[in-house]
Structure 1
């Protein structure tokens, strides 16, 4: 079992691998999606920037209705 304590070496490769990259604008071609993809995340720390970019990449980002204070 891979979750056993101390068992860090796997005996086989990953079973399922994606052959294509996920495209967040493949089916959603709305103006809001284009606006979200074009947005630059400046003025935040590096960790928050990485989180925001990941959320945009996988269609998890939801714009705020009103701006927040940092």
Structure 2
């Protein structure tokens, strides 16, 4: 799609679609990955909870080395 002003409509459908959903535990079967997947995000607002769940789902979440003040 061009970046020129006003050109926002597509003339063709999407070419490729994902056949399978992403799995964050397909190749990483470590205990750390299992711990991250099992973690419940309680005590945070709905927006932050959604962000944390997205990060876990796509393997972007990292455990904190020391507790952080909320």
Scaled to the shorter chain, the TM-score interval is: 0.7 to 0.9
TM-score of the aligned structures, taking structure 2 as reference length: 0.88
* Alpha-carbon distance, 1:5 to partner: 1.8
Residue 39 of structure 1 corresponds to which residue in structure 2? 39
* 1:48-67 mapped onto 2 (5 Å cutoff): 48-67=48-67
Q: Which runs of 5+ in 1 are unaligned?
A: none
Q: TM-score, normalising length from structure 1? A: 0.88
Matched position secondary structure for 1:15 = coil
Q: Does 1:16 align with 2:20?
A: no
After superposing on structure 2, the runs of 4+ consecutive aligned residues of structure 1 that deviate more than 2 Å are: 1-4
Are 1:41 and 1:49, in contact at CA under 8 Å, matched by a contact in 2?
A: yes
Backbone CA RMSD of aligned residues: 1.2
